[in-house]
Amino acid sequence: MRYGGAGGTLAVSDLTLRVDKGEFAAVVGPSGCGKSTLMKLVTGLHIPQKGTVIVAGEEVTKPVSIVGMAFQNPTMLPWRTTLDNILLPLEIVEKHRHRLRKHRKAYIEKAESLLEMVGLKGVGSKYPWQLSGGMQQRANLCRALIHEPDLLMLDEPFGALDAFTREELWCVIRDLHAAQGVTVVLVTHDLREAVFLADRVFVMSARPGRVIAEHRVPFNRPRDLDLMYDQAFNDMVHVLHGEIAKARVAA
């Protein structure tokens, strides 16, 4: 994927990875390595100039409707209540759009169930400006899941939060993944986050980005936060840190 025409920036090249259905994959690498470009290629927001992207057995040639996305900035619409923000994708995804008006009550019940699952029971009537950053990000996860996506793409979703809130949300997404069996791809700079949440961690090179290492995370699920004090956990984090440091130097 190259930006800016033939002489522009080559963002990713010879980038190959496979994520299995129901798997939780994390992608890490130095800044500017093309992690966000990877997200846009997978979701169909960009189409590669060379190569092929396949999601759920079909080549991606347009935005993919079976994907839910959550970013570092929750980008909730300030004039809509939390509940109406969560329902927003249903107004866009075609198979739900036609059913929303007729079955609105059922969709509201589903949204409220998701809110309860992430610890936000009873806040559906509040506006985004009445919620903390962590609460907004929890609601953002609900919005990404409301249309029952087969694939959840997370682009630094917890990066702007304080350490305690971030760890709380790691447990939320851990439990959502376990309960719903959705396939998750997480892009993150936080190596502890990657090892705590993922089944496999992919390490990308400096730009143009490609996968230079792949690690299967050996720790059994469900994982508790105490795992981060385990020597084997920290050894894996250090290995990832070393690989990324080498990738930066190689650039």
pLDDT tens sequence across 128-167: 999 988 888 889 888 888 888 889 999 888 777 788 888 9
For 49-78, the pLDDT digits (tens) are 999 999 999 999 998 888 888 877 778 899
Q: What is the pLDDT of residue 147?
A: 81
Cβ atoms of residues 155 and 140 within 8 Å: no
Check pLDDT > 90 for residue 238.
yes
Phi, psi of 28 (to 5 degrees): -125, 165
Of the candidate ranges 16-30, 114-128, 133-147, the one whose mean pLDDT is the lowest: 133-147
pLDDT-based confidence at 251, cuts 50/70/90? low
Question: Domain coordinates of the chain in residue numbers?
Answer: 2-66+150-250, 78-148
Q: Cα 156 to chain center, whole Å?
A: 7
- Each residue's pLDDT tens digit, 180-210: 889 999 999 999 999 999 999 999 999 999 9
Q: Could you tell me the CA-to-CA distances from 221 to 24, 112, 157, 197 in Å, in that order? A: 12, 27, 22, 9
> How far is it, in rounded angstroms, from Cα 132 to Cα 121?
15
Q: Measure the CA–CA gap between 11 and 203, rounded to whole angstroms.
A: 15
Domain 2-66+150-250: homologous superfamily in CATH: P-loop containing nucleotide triphosphate hydrolases (3.40.50.300)
Tell me the C-alpha to C-alpha distance, in Å, between residue 150 and each of 37, 39, 41, 43, 186.
20, 15, 16, 12, 14
Contact of 251 with 207, CB cutoff 8 Å: yes
